[in-house]
């Protein structure tokens, strides 16, 4: 009998104290079930147990032997504790050292038979194990002598801890009901879920691991595709209110802009406006090169919705971006009488004046404002719309398909006006991270796509340079020169220390260096994730108002930020970013008539990395870079971290084309038969739905 079930909190499992429970919670692990569904992201192959005599220097070796001797001593030079041991099997013996684990002599004693897995290296003339993982021989191993799971962790949780916990709760897998219709697993030859879950954590061999991983990837992609089909069904079953094209006003508006639209902008705007005129909801993705002016295209659509007496929402991933969109849009709308609001967690602005939340909510509900710009707050809070005709989601890869659906639903239930039929608003999503078309189609087969390749004519190509360490002073001189000419500079720092999630340390260190040593005479500000939204907002506003010459930041400036006067983007530790992300950074400059520069620094000497960074210089556009990332580093790189990219996938990757296709076909089949015929699956989908509401 198990003394726990799937919902048992981890804190009531053996050896989980308060602190550990807290750390697990940070990983989203609160129950036994969460542990089981916390998949490893890689497996280290320690499965071959070697004879000691046959060992060679290697990163991954395993032996089984008896401890002959084990002792602690202080290393003379570094005053560290060293634990030294001698281990022997029938073929020979080898020295082992561990650093700073003095307690080991209590755990491991002469005569104990152990497995050791880890790195074998030369100590002068002889081979030795350095900091190997150890495990007593006897039972089934979980840390050594097998394919060993590696989990992504935070804080100082250890692999051993989490492996141990998962091994403890593993029997609870028997309590999980397999929800995948048996006909599907049979047809596709997928292993059952219990097998898959066990094997994903502690695989017997590469083959069972591959089977398990295929099954679990399929699960995710299948649910994802089902959701897409369901929403497609809902969309096609629900009409939208057509938005009339107000040709005269639109022309006048476009003429009032300080620039001429590019041809691509015109074409995209036209495709969108034609969609809006239909009584079927638009579902379109607007992709474009960074800085190609997508916001304006979206604004043309929102403008028409507003003239038609409907409301339009623009949702941005960060407060900074929402604020910036709001300011720009108000500036463009200038003399028109269209009422606007900004709604984020910390800011509510109505027709360009600060306002109370209640007041903004009221005006949205009454239809008094037509264009509403905001963040996630728009979903989370109890906003009700009077007549939502259009939803625009900026940087849509940051929002899951689910959130998109939620906002749509909100508008539905939020409608005050009694209508004969429920309607759905039109939907436009935008992304500046070019999704290679093949990928977009295989995932979001239900979307129409418009692409803006062209940049506004007056833009000059950004000059990108990979700067050698010895040229750093020259680069700083260059920055100084640009600033003297009135321009501004961004400096981006990578997160070096994993515990420094918000980038406070990295940014502060760089900021202090620049302020105290390099540019003591210049005005420098810093921006990182720990700052309150209002503070970030203020810093961005001040930077925009040229109160600072240099802004040192984490990747928070990655998406969308628009400071036309900035002409230098200086990136530190570039090897830590994907090319698409670097391209995004670079897109923060070159947004006006000034010649702009991207100065790229790397701490790495690796040839491979310098070749990869070279592509940043040579590629013609973001699409090419995205393809490159996809090919060489996986989709996570295109979208920044995998977490911020597609949160719905724990194990599936966007390059799992084959499984995506299988999942799509299976989902299609289920939908055409009717989900009602699959009560278990339906329940699973409903549960997933509930989770969304709790998010
Ligand atoms: P992105 O496509 O990356 O979201 P934005 O919409 O932020 O780009 O536009 C970048 C900048 O270019 C903004 O300052 C915007 O006002 C400006 N812009 C947009 N369209 C044009 C155009 N046709 N000519 C010149 N500048 C433009
Ligand atoms: Mg943008």
Ligand 1 atom 3: the closest Cα is on which residue?
291
∠ CA 259-447-304, nearest 5°, is: 40
Q: Which-ligand-closest: CA of 257? A: 1
374 and 318 housed in the same domain: yes
* DSSP letter for each residue of 495-555: --STT-TT-HHHHHHHHHHIIIII-TTS-EEEE-TTS-HHHHHHHHHHHHTTS-SEEEE-G
Is the CB of residue 566 below 6 angstroms from any atom belonging to ligand 1? no
Contact between 284 and 449 (Cβ < 8 Å): yes
- Please tell me whether residue 631 adopts helix, strand or coil conformation: helix
DSSP 467: P
The CATH number assigned to the domain holding 372 equals 3.40.50.300
- pLDDT value of position 417: 47
Q: What is the pTM of this model?
A: 0.69
> Average pLDDT of 609-626?
87
153 closest CA partner among 59, 42, 44, 45? 42
372 and 514 housed in the same domain: no
pLDDT tens column, 510-550: 999 999 999 999 999 999 888 887 788 889 889 999 999 99
- Reading the block at residue 75, the tokens are 């290393």
- Reading the block at residue 409, the tokens are 């639903």
Q: Is 117 a residue whose pLDDT tops 80? A: yes
* DSSP letter for each residue of 367-396: T--SEEEE-THHHHS----S-EEEEEESSG
pLDDT tens column, 644-679: 334 457 888 777 878 988 999 999 999 999 999 999
Contact between 586 and 558 (Cβ < 8 Å): no
Residue spans of beta strands (DSSP E) within 89-204: 93-99, 113-123, 126-136, 147-150
pLDDT tens column, 423-482: 788 989 888 677 666 666 666 666 788 889 888 887 888 999 999 999 999 999 999 999
- Reading the block at residue 488, the tokens are 């501004």
> Average pLDDT of 4-10?
93
Strand order in the sheet with 566-571: 463-466, 597-600, 566-571, 488-492, 550-553, 524-527
> Cα(513) to centroid of ligand 2, in Å?
31
Q: Is residue 371 part of a domain?
A: yes
Q: For residues 125, 67, 14 and 131, what is the CA-based torsion angle, rounded to 10 degrees?
A: -10
Instruction: Print the domain residue range for 58.
Output: 48-145
24 closest CA partner among 148, 151, 153? 153
Q: Which of 560, 593, 620 is the last residue before a domain boundary?
A: 620
CA quadruple 156, 162, 165, 169: dihedral sign: positive
Is the CB of residue 588 below 6 angstroms from any atom belonging to ligand 1? no
- CA of residue 481 relative to chain centroid, distance: 36
- pLDDT value of position 624: 83
Q: Distance between terminal CA atoms of the chain?
A: 34
Q: Is 118 left (phi over 0), alpha (psi -120 to 50) or beta?
A: left
Contact between 31 and 10 (Cβ < 8 Å): yes
Q: Is 131 a residue whose pLDDT tops 50? A: yes
492 and 400 housed in the same domain: no
What are phi and psi for residue 74, nearest 5 degrees?
Answer: -85, 135
Q: Is residue 125 part of a domain?
A: yes
- Our mutation pick for probing the ligand 1 site, out of 291, 558, 588, counting the most ligand atoms within 8 A of Cβ, is 291
pLDDT tens column, 134-161: 999 998 999 999 999 999 887 789 999 9
- Reading the block at residue 91, the tokens are 């073929």
258 and 362 housed in the same domain: yes
∠ CA 289-295-296, nearest 5°, is: 110
Average pLDDT, the chain: 87
384 closest CA partner among 403, 401, 407, 402? 407
- Reading the block at residue 693, the tokens are 């509401």
- Please tell me whether residue 463 adopts helix, strand or coil conformation: strand
- Please tell me whether residue 119 adopts helix, strand or coil conformation: strand
- Please tell me whether residue 615 adopts helix, strand or coil conformation: helix
Ligand 1 atom 18: the closest Cα is on which residue?
293
Q: Which of 620, 643, 678 is the last residue before a domain boundary?
A: 620
63 and 132 housed in the same domain: yes
Residues 6+ apart with CB under 8 A from 283: 235, 427, 446, 447, 448
532 exposed, middle or buried (CB, 10 Å; 0-12, 13-18, 19+)?
Answer: exposed
- Please tell me whether residue 51 adopts helix, strand or coil conformation: coil
Q: Which-ligand-closest: CA of 329? A: 1
Residue environment code for 160-173, b if the CB has 16+ CB neighbours within 10 A, otherwise e: ebbbbbbbbbbebb
The CATH number assigned to the domain holding 125 equals 2.40.50.140
Q: Which-ligand-closest: CA of 296? A: 1
Strongest mean pLDDT among 224-233, 236-245, 565-574, 685-694: 565-574
407 and 475 housed in the same domain: no
Contact between 285 and 360 (Cβ < 8 Å): no
Specify the residue for token string 């750390």: 23
385 and 336 housed in the same domain: yes
Ligand 1 atom 20: the closest Cα is on which residue?
293
Q: Which of 581, 600, 620 is the last residue before a domain boundary?
A: 620
User: Per DSSP, what are the bridge partners of residue 287?
Assistant: 431, 451
Contact between 254 and 313 (Cβ < 8 Å): no
Q: Is residue 174 part of a domain?
A: no
Q: Is residue 175 part of a domain?
A: no
Q: Is residue 677 part of a domain?
A: no
Share of the chain above pLDDT 70, in %: 89
> Cα(119) to centroid of ligand 1, in Å?
53
404 and 498 housed in the same domain: no
With residues binned 3-state (H G I as helix, E B as strand, rest as coil), the percentages for the chain, rounded to 5, are: 45, 20, 35
484 and 581 housed in the same domain: yes
540 and 480 housed in the same domain: yes
> Average pLDDT of 548-561?
80
Ligand 1 atom 12: the closest Cα is on which residue?
293
470 and 613 housed in the same domain: yes
Number of H helices, E strands in the chain: 25, 23
Q: Which-ligand-closest: CA of 566? A: 1
Contact between 286 and 427 (Cβ < 8 Å): no
Specify the number of domains making up the chain. Answer: 3
Atom of ligand 1 nearest to the CA of 328: 16
What does each C-alpha distance from 511 to 160, 514, 559, 584 come to in angstroms? Answer: 37, 5, 21, 22
Q: Is residue 159 part of a domain?
A: no
> Average pLDDT of 328-345?
92
Is the CB of residue 259 below 6 angstroms from any atom belonging to ligand 1? yes
Residue environment code for 323-353, b if the CB has 16+ CB neighbours within 10 A, otherwise e: bbbbbebbebbeeeebbbbbbbeebbbbeee
Q: Is residue 35 part of a domain?
A: no
421 and 514 housed in the same domain: no
């Amino acid at each position: 009998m198990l003394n726990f079930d799937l919902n048992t909190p981890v804190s009531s499992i053996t050896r989980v104290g308060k602190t550990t429970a807290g750390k697990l919670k940070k990983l989203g692990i609160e129950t036994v079930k969460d542990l089981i569904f916390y998949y490893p992201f890689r497996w280290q192959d320690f499965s071959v147990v070697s004879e000691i005599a046959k060992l060679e220097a290697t990163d991954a070796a395993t032996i089984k032997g008896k401890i002959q001797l084990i002792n602690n001593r202080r290393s003379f030079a570094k005053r560290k504790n060293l634990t030294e041991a001698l281990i022997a099997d029938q073929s020979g013996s080898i020295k082992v050292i561990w650093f700073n684990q003095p307690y080991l002599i209590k755990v491991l004693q002469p005569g104990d038979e152990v497995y050791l897995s880890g790195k074998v290296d030369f100590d002068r003339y002889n081979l030795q194990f350095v900091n190997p993982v150890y495990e007593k021989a006897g039972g089934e191993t979980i840390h050594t002598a097998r394919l060993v799971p590696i989990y992504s962790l935070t804080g100082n949780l250890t692999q051993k801890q989490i492996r141990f916990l998962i091994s403890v709760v593993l029997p609870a897998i028997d309590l999980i009901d397999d929800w995948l219709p048996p006909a599907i697993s049979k047809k596709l030859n997928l292993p059952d879920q219990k097998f898959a879950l066990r094997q994903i954590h502690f695989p017997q061999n590469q083959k069972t691991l591959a089977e398990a991983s295929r099954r679990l990837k399929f699960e995710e992609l299948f649910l994802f595709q089902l959701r897409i089909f369901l929403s497609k069904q809902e969309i096609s079953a629900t009409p939208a209110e057509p938005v009339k094209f107000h040709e005269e006003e639109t022309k006048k508006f476009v003429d009032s802009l300080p620039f001429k639209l590019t041809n691509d902008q015109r074409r995209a705007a036209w495709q969108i406006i034609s969609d809006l005129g239909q009584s079927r909801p638009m579902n379109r993705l607007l992709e474009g090169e960074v800085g190609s002016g997508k916001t304006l295209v979206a604004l043309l659509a929102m403008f028409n919705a507003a003239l038609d007496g409907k409301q339009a929402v623009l949702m941005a991933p960060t407060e900074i971006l929402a604020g910036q969109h709001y300011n720009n849009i108000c500036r463009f709308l200038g003399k028109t009488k269209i009422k606007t609001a900004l709604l984020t967690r910390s800011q509510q602005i109505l027709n360009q004046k600060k306002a109370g939340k209640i007041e903004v909510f009221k005006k949205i509900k009454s239809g008094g404002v037509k264009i509403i710009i905001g963040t996630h707050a728009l979903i989370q809070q109890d906003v009700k719309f009077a007549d939502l005709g259009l939803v625009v989601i900026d940087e849509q890869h940051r929002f899951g398909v689910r959130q998109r659906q939620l906002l749509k639903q909100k508008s539905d239930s939020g409608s005050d006006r009694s209508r004969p039929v429920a309607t759905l608003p039109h939907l436009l999503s935008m992304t500046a991270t070019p999704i290679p078309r093949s990928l977009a189609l295989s995932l979001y087969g239900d979307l129409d796509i418009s692409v803006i390749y062209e940049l506004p004519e007056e833009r000059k190509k950004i000059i990108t340079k990979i700067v050698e360490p010895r040229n750093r002073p020259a680069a700083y001189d260059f920055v100084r020169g640009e600033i003297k000419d009135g321009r501004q500079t961004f400096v981006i720092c990578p997160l070096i220390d994993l515990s420094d999630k918000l980038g406070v340390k990295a940014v502060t260190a760089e900021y202090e260096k620049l302020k105290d040593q390099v540019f003591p005479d210049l005005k420098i500000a810093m921006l990182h994730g720990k700052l309150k939204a209002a503070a970030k907002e203020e810093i961005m506003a001040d930077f925009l108002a040229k109160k600072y010459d240099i802004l040192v930041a984490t990747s928070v400036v990655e998406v969308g930020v628009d400071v036309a006067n900035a002409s230098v983007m200086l990136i530190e530790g570039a090897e830590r970013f994907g090319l698409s992300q670097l391209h995004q950074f670079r897109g923060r400059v070159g947004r006006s008539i000034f010649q702009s520069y991207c100065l790229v620094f790397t701490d790495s000497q690796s040839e491979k990395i310098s070749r990869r960074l070279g592509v940043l210089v040579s590629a013609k556009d973001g699409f090419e870079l995205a393809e490159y990332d996809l090919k060489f580093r996986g989709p996570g790189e295109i979208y920044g971290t995998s977490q911020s990219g597609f949160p719905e996938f724990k194990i599936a990757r966007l390059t799992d084309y084959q499984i995506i296709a299988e999942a799509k076909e299976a989902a299609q089949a289920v939908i055409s038969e009717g989900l009602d015929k699959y009560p278990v699956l339906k329940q699973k989908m409903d549960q997933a739905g509930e989770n969304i509401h709790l998010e």
